[in-house]
Amino acid sequence: MTTYDVNGNKIDSTSFYKKSGQDLGYEAIEHLTFTKGRTIVIIDTVKRWKINEEEADIIEGSLQMTTGITQYQILENGKIKISSTASR
């Protein structure tokens, strides 16, 4: 996301999908919600599995899952800042 002033000059920018992706032993999804109050809420779920010795497959039963919430605020001057983060 990039913010601009009324003349088209860049004020600030950031990327939100920092965790999303999939690989052997890793899967992460992030859901974004834009609110009327210039707040962006990101809810993520990250799943990790241990990999076998051959590094060819996951080890069944080794799933570890975490969830998190990150909130960004777009300030009146157009700057984007993280206002809070939490994970479980």
Q: What is the pLDDT of residues 21-68, one digit of tens each?
A: 999 999 999 999 999 999 999 999 999 999 999 999 999 999 999 999
Q: What is the pLDDT of residue 33?
A: 96
Per-residue pLDDT at 87 exceeds 90: no
* Cα 75 from Cα 88, distance rounded (Å): 28
Residue 40 CB partners (closer than 8 Å, separation 6+):
1, 16, 32, 33, 34, 71, 72, 73, 74
Q: What is the pLDDT of residue 39?
A: 95
β-strands 26-34, 21-23 pairing: antiparallel
Q: What is the pLDDT of residue 79?
A: 97
To the question of pTM greater than 0.85 for the whole model, the response is no
